[in-house]
Structure 1
Amino acid sequence: MAKSTITTADRDGTSQSGRQQQALQPGYVAMDEHTLQDWLRFAQAYAKELKYYGPDDTAAGDWQGFLNPDELDESDLAAWLQQMADFADRPEAYADAGDDNLQRPHLILFLVFLQLLRQVQGRLNDITRRHLDFYYRRYLQLQRKPAEPDSVHLLIEPSSRVAQVLLPAGTAVDAGKDSQGNALVYRTDGDLVANHARIERLSSVYLHRQITGIREAREQYAGPKNEAVVEMLKIPFGVPAPGDDMPAYPPLNQAVDFPFLQLLQSMLAFIDSGLFLSLEEFRSLVQLKQRREQADGEWQEINDILDAAGKQRSGAGFTLAPADPRDFDANLTKAVGVLDFKGLPEIKNVYELYDQRTRQDAQQFIADNLYMSYDQFVRMMQIKVRIDNEWREINTLLERAGQRKRNDPKYSLGLTDPASPHSPPTSPPPWVRRTIPRSRPSAPSAIWTSCMPLCWNWKAISSCPANSLRT
C-alpha cells in the first residue's frame, strides 16, 4: 500500500474552555496579593519608623540599614529590593556573585521568614477554591465526569500514485507530542476511503423573504385608497392563502368590494341607531328568532308524546291532529283532558308539576293523569321550557331596545306578569301560557311584526328609518 500523507488542519472556533470567564476562576482575585518585593518595601518603610538603640542603650538612628546597608537613594533602592527578592526565589543563581550584603545571616534569616510567610499566604489565597470544592462536592454532592478520550478531525490526502486508499477503523495516527513530551496517538473510529475528489465550487442559496402584513398591503398598493382597504383585508381573509381574493359574502353571494363594505358599515350603524341594540344583542336576537322559526322538529316531538298519551287514554283510534301544532295548552288538553291539581300541594299547573317531578305523588299523578311515562314527561317539558326561555330572552332584548329608544329604564313591554322578562320565575306561572301560547310572543307581536322584517331583509336595513322599531 502506498504511503499516505496525513496533515492536520487548524480550525477557528470557540471551544467551551475558551468561553470561560477569568473572573470566575478561583485564583482571579487573591485575598492577600502581596508579593515578596511588596513585603521588602514594607519592611524598609517600617524600619524607618523604628529607633535603633546602641550598646549603651541610647537611640542612634533607625533600622533602615538592616535592608539598605549602603544607604542607597530611592532610585537605586527599588533595584536593590528587586535583587533581594530574586535572591530569595533563586539563591543558587547568586552562589558566585560575591555580594556580602546578600550573605548577611540576619538578612537571610529575614528572607527565610518571608518565604515561610508565603506558605501561609498561599493557603489563605486558596480559600476561594476550597470553598467552591466544599460547595459543589460536599454540599451539592456533584461528581466529576469520567475522563473522555480526546478527538480530532483529520484531513486525508492519498498519494498521487494511487487512486484511493482505505483506512480501516482503528488505524493509529501520530499527532506528535503534547506539552509534557508524551506521544499523542489517535485511532480512526470508522473505515474511511480517501480519494482525490475535490470541491470544485462552493455556492450558497440566498432566499429573499418579504413579509407583507396588513399595513404593508395598504401602504404598498398604488391604486385608489378605497381599493387599498380591500387589499388590506385580503391578508387575513384571503382564500385559499393570505393575499388572495376574499370569498363571496353569504347569503347574497356578493363580491366584497369597497361599496359593499360601506353597505355593511351602514347596516352596523343602523343596528345601533335604528334598532337600539348592540351587535352582540342583535346577533343573539336573530339567532333566537331563527331557532324558534325552525323549531318544527321540537314541536313534532312534543306532539308525538301527546299523541301517544291520547292513545293511552282513549284507545288506539285517537289521533291528536292539532289545529295549531304549537298551541301546547290546547293540544295537552285534547290529549289528556283538563287537569285537576287539587290533590297536589304547591302544584297548580303542569310547569310546577315539572318543577316538583321528583316527588312521589307528582310521579304518580303523571302516570295516572297524563298517561305517559316519567321519562316522556321530562323530555316533553324540557323542550317546552327551553322554548319558553328562549322567547323570554327575545322579549328581554326587545324591552331593552325600547328602554334605550325612550331613555326610560322603567319601560316595559306590558306583559301579563310584570316580572317578565327581567326575572323569570323558576317555573313558568299560568301567565306564561297566555303570553307564549304558540311559541311566539302575544303581547309584543305587533312589535315583532314591525321590527323583525328589518332583521331578515338586509336590503331594507340600509334604507329603513330609525323610528321603524316600534318598541
Structure 2
Amino acid sequence: MNKNNKIIDQFFRDGVSQGRRLLRELEPDYVSVDERDVSDLLTFVQKYATKLNYYDESNRINGDWSSFFGGDVEQMVAYINNPESFADEPSTQRQLAQPHLVLLFTFLQLLRYPQQQFKALTQRYLDFYYKEVLQLTTKEEVPDKIHGIFELAQGEEAHLINKGTLLSAGQDSQGVNINYATDEDIVVNQAQVASIKTLFVEKNYIGLEVV
C-alpha cells in the first residue's frame, strides 16, 4: 500500500490558466503617454497660468493669467459635459460661457482625439515590430470544437446522426446563432460507460547498497 502523500499533492492541485498568468502590466493599454482627463487638464491650466506674466497696455507686468482661468474645476467639467444643466443658474452660466473659456473647453474636447491615438501607440509599435521587423504572419482561423453528449429518446434503441448535422449552442453576445456541425456519422445506442478507473504505478529506485 502506497503511503506517499506527495502523490496526492501531484494529482490534486489548482492550476492557473494561461489567461490568468498574463500580467495586466504587460497589456498594451495598461499605460498611455497622456492619461490626463479634462479635470486634470483644467487643473494644470490654472496652475500654469500662475507662472505666466500678464503685460498691460504699457507693456509692464501686471500680475499673471490666473484670473482668466479661475473657477471651480468641477463646475467647468459639468459645463463641458452638459451646458444646459446650468440653465437655472444664469450667473454661473454667463461666467462659464465667456469666449476665452469656451475656446479652452473646445480645445480640451478636441484634445481627446490625439489622446486616443496615444493610447494606441503601444499596440501600433508592437504590430510594427512583429509584422514588419520579425515578419510574423497571422495564423488562419481555426474552427471551434466541442464535445457533444447525445441521449436517446424514450423507446429508441439506436439513432443515426449524419455527418454535418447542426447542433445549436445558443447565441453569442451579438445575438448571432452559434451552430456546431458533427464531423462524422454517429450511431447513438444504449451503450453506456459503467465506470472509469485510473491506474497509477509507483516506481521505487534503489541503490546498490540496498541490494
TM-score, normalised via structure 2 length: 0.69
Q: Pick closer, same or farther for the CA change 1:39–1:178 going to 2, 3 Å.
A: same
* 1:261-296, Cα deviation, whole Å (9 max, x unpaired): xxxxxxxxxxxxxxxxxxxxxxxxxxxxxxxxxxxx
State yes or no: 1:166 paired with 2:168. no
User: How much has 1:213 moved relative to structure 2?
Assistant: 1.3
Unaligned stretches of 5+ residues in structure 1? 1-11, 218-230, 232-471
User: How much has 1:180 moved relative to structure 2?
Assistant: 2.1
Q: Pick closer, same or farther for the CA change 1:161–1:60 going to 2, 3 Å.
A: farther
Give the letter for the 1:177 counterpart: Q
Residues 263-274 of structure 1 mapped to structure 2, 5 A cutoff: none
State yes or no: 1:66 paired with 2:69. yes
Residues 269-284 of structure 1 mapped to structure 2, 5 A cutoff: none
Q: Pick closer, same or farther for the CA change 1:18–1:184 going to 2, 3 Å.
A: farther
Structure 1 match to 2:177: 183
Give the letter for the 1:24 counterpart: L
Q: Give the SS at the match of 2:174.
A: coil
Whether the 8 Å CA contact 1:67–1:107 is kept in 2: the answer is no
User: How much has 1:17 moved relative to structure 2?
Assistant: 5.2
Structure 1 match to 2:147: 153
Partners of 1:182 and 1:13 lie apart in 2 by 33
Whether the 8 Å CA contact 2:159–2:189 is kept in 1: the answer is yes
State yes or no: 1:43 paired with 2:45. yes
Residues 64-213 of structure 1 mapped to structure 2, 5 A cutoff: 64=67, 66-68=69-71, 80=74, 84=77, 88=80, 90-91=81-82, 95-98=84-87, 101=92, 104=97, 105-195=99-189, 197-213=191-207
Structure 1 match to 2:28: 26
TM-score, normalised via structure 1 length: 0.35
Partners of 1:51 and 1:179 lie apart in 2 by 56
Partners of 1:169 and 1:97 lie apart in 2 by 66
User: How much has 1:127 moved relative to structure 2?
Assistant: 2.9
Whichever of the two has the greater Rg, that structure is 1
Give the letter for the 2:66 counterpart: W
Partners of 1:177 and 1:148 lie apart in 2 by 19
Partners of 2:189 and 2:15 lie apart in 1 by 27
Residues 432-443 of structure 1 mapped to structure 2, 5 A cutoff: none
Whether the 8 Å CA contact 1:52–1:63 is kept in 2: the answer is no
User: How much has 1:205 moved relative to structure 2?
Assistant: 2.3
User: How much has 1:118 moved relative to structure 2?
Assistant: 2.7
Unaligned stretches of 5+ residues in structure 2? 1-13
Whether the 8 Å CA contact 2:169–2:178 is kept in 1: the answer is yes
Q: Pick closer, same or farther for the CA change 1:53–1:194 going to 2, 3 Å.
A: farther
Whether the 8 Å CA contact 1:166–1:194 is kept in 2: the answer is yes
The structure that is strand-richer by fraction is: 2
User: How much has 1:66 moved relative to structure 2?
Assistant: 2.5
Partners of 1:106 and 1:48 lie apart in 2 by 17
